[in-house]
Structure 1
């Protein structure tokens, strides 16, 4: 059976540019892209089988990206790593994760463009155009990474750029020597991504004639798939609680924000200053370390309301 090590993924894990920590983060993010929180809830009597199933699904997507010729059961796209995942001979984690996410959605039959499902044959129709866009307008990739950062944290933004490339590739027979085609591409991208100044990049060649319907289609599609800002968490994460306690441990004495009495940190709880019921989030600025009895008294009320009830 083909192992993960035999896929392109196995080679990536051996990249000298990636530290051990980055490799672990990459593996974790691949699973998060595919399964979200599912992979974090595998503690059961069938844990081993569940993990194996997750890894088999992961293997399928990785094989779709690039697989040695020994595999005949999972036809590969054979994406050329030098074009898709590398820049200046350095492996780009952001690009790899972005394309992994796209291939994963196509594999799961949930990648849509203009209300039509895109399968691997559909992607193949757009592929020549996509690769031309990657090669001809690297400014789109460069400025996206420059604005949102490289690595794991920005792959959704770069994925959005590649989705636009696919949409353009399906709608236009790309010819960068054709003025109308070039202008249509420039306007499609510049109106979809206002942080990238495509007009300046191609200022000398920009003529003005373009296909308005294609521009509108691309802009509309990009808007529909643009990643939304992540919502602030309602509950406190383990890391947030740890930061709150570390801040208090530096003090000689800590005091309860409800009753103003001294805190024994090993017998305390973290609660919201502004309650969740009133829209408070589980962020460090909204965290208060208090006595357990004070937490029960506070319930889902705001801190100011509780103190007024206690002292007035």
Structure 2
């Protein structure tokens, strides 16, 4: 069974709580105490006023078997915890304070939409990842096998003689059973505080997700939400002007395609690896939020109320007391453009792209994508650009990457020692910068390893063993398969004909061996594959320095 989670986020729309109003609160005695599945079909009046708070985390945390089990439990009359609601005195919308996943599972069953049918397709602008479709189909099959579709049970009551007795029994249960409701009374502020209190108990909100919720109107959170769904889904930027909304969605899709395409399953099956791992995962939400903050030099203090900024000196956000809410989208766009520029530096075929090979830089020795390695590479390349050391790096790039490949287990050791995401970014960056500096000074591999082991941030993290385990059973584990395939990808990767380093074909540039300026033709014999920057920047710097390139366009490495 697929391990992907079912995305039910489209089935209950989001809406702002709306913080002020003059209408009287609804009396609890006239609010319904239960909700039938028939209240959740598309034509139902109740369903059409059902909402989630705009800050509600994405309803995409349940695997197929849990969604199917919830539907089965409901039809069997098993105890399902009450869903907690709040009714807005302003709009009349009914908000789900607790129980969004439970209710969404029943809505999905009633609509036969587990993240891949009409409502979801419209919500995601028809941009539905393969993993999301797989999870939807798996859920639909499970439910068909165990209880039957909502349509099947509805038909069963109208044609009792023509259906299986089990379907008829469940259909009769469907007509009688309902979900119990409880109501939060008070203004929007009371409803919001209830949401956070309830959702920090049984299944606490992840800290990164909580940070995004609290910063939901700030440009970093809006930008991250746009990136993670390629500009589709709930429009957190809907209050901005039309031109701003359009540009946000355009940049979001560009960056999503740049870092998350092609899609990555649980096992590696292609040499064309996404530079940022799986876009359809809970970890990707955290990583993208960190990416936006990291690139724009923003620390948590800038969006936490009453704090003074401790952002990086020299960054645009440095010295600000608080990162303000974005009311017109200008700051969101500024943050997104910065991310696009940084991502384009390491991936894709933009002329300034270094075209870093994902298997070399972003995947560990066990074949797992490492978010910290991705953020570290962006930091490393940004530092090279800022210090004007990019061409120095290109001159030793092949040797630099060979060291990373040979000592790839160092990445595993660092992450194991320091932890994932931001905790490992600094030590991995130290490893990259120390290796670069050592190579430019002519140090050999044993000397570089010794220098790395004496770095304060790395002293306890690095061991001269690969630390990569293997399967113990007769069958190959997913990890073992990934290790084998990753090694094959690295060993057989094409090389850039200018710098000699590995070249991902998704970032390949077609270069004239003899430059067009020197009379070179567009024939096949005069073509070679290179990194984009090697073609547009590094090659030109060599030509201006040496008045020509080496034989066949290959530069002797320092």
TM-score normalised per structure 2: 0.29
Alpha carbons 1:129, 1:165 under 8 Å: kept: no
Number of the residue aligned with 1:194: 459
User: How many positions carry a matched residue from both structures?
Assistant: 179
Number of the residue aligned with 1:5: 256
Correspondence 1:81 to 2:363: no
More helix by share: 1
Matches within 5 A, 1:1-312: 3-7=254-258, 9-11=259-261, 14-17=263-266, 18=278, 20-37=281-298, 40=303, 41-46=323-328, 48-68=329-349, 71-72=350-351, 75-87=352-364, 88-107=366-385, 109=386, 117-172=387-442, 181-192=444-455, 193-196=458-461
- For residues 49 and 155 of structure 1, what CA distance do their matches in structure 2 show? 29
**SS state of the match for residue 195, structure 1?**
coil
How many Å apart are 1:120 and its aligned residue? 2.0
Alpha carbons 1:126, 1:170 under 8 Å: kept: yes
Distance 1:20 1:142, change over 3 A: closer
Distance 1:186 1:104, change over 3 A: closer
Could you list the per-position Cα deviations for residues 199-234 of structure 1 after superposition, in whole angstroms to 9, with x for gaps in the alignment? x659xxxxxxxxxxxxxxxxxxxxxxxxxxxxxxxx
Alpha carbons 1:67, 1:76 under 8 Å: kept: yes
TM-score normalised per structure 1: 0.50
Could you list the per-position Cα deviations for residues 86-105 of structure 1 after superposition, in whole angstroms to 9, with x for gaps in the alignment? 23433221211111222233
Asked which structure has the greater CA Rg, the reply is 2
Distance 1:185 1:52, change over 3 A: same
- For residues 95 and 196 of structure 1, what CA distance do their matches in structure 2 show? 15
Number of the residue aligned with 1:226: none
- For residues 182 and 44 of structure 1, what CA distance do their matches in structure 2 show? 49
Distance 1:51 1:184, change over 3 A: same
Indicate the RMSD between aligned Cα atoms, in angstroms.
Answer: 2.8
How many Å apart are 1:37 and its aligned residue? 2.9
- For residues 42 and 58 of structure 1, what CA distance do their matches in structure 2 show? 19
Number of the residue aligned with 2:207: none
Alpha carbons 1:42, 1:50 under 8 Å: kept: no
Distance 1:89 1:142, change over 3 A: closer
How many Å apart are 1:61 and its aligned residue? 0.9
Could you list the per-position Cα deviations for residues 67-86 of structure 1 after superposition, in whole angstroms to 9, with x for gaps in the alignment? 13xx44xx210101111112
Distance 1:141 1:157, change over 3 A: same
Number of the residue aligned with 2:118: none
Unaligned runs of at least 5 residues, structure 2 = 1-249, 267-277, 304-322, 467-558
**SS state of the match for residue 402, structure 2?**
helix
Number of the residue aligned with 1:243: none
- For residues 197 and 119 of structure 1, what CA distance do their matches in structure 2 show? 27
Could you list the per-position Cα deviations for residues 245-301 of structure 1 after superposition, in whole angstroms to 9, with x for gaps in the alignment? xxxxxxxxxxxxxxxxxxxxxxxxxxxxxxxxxxxxxxxxxxxxxxxxxxxxxxxxx
Distance 1:53 1:197, change over 3 A: closer
**SS state of the match for residue 91, structure 1?**
coil
Distance 1:56 1:158, change over 3 A: same
- For residues 190 and 44 of structure 1, what CA distance do their matches in structure 2 show? 45
Unaligned runs of at least 5 residues, structure 1 = 110-116, 174-180, 203-312
Distance 1:128 1:49, change over 3 A: same
Identify the range of structure 1 (52-61 vs 136-145) with the bigger mean alpha-carbon deviation.
136-145
How many Å apart are 1:151 and its aligned residue? 3.3
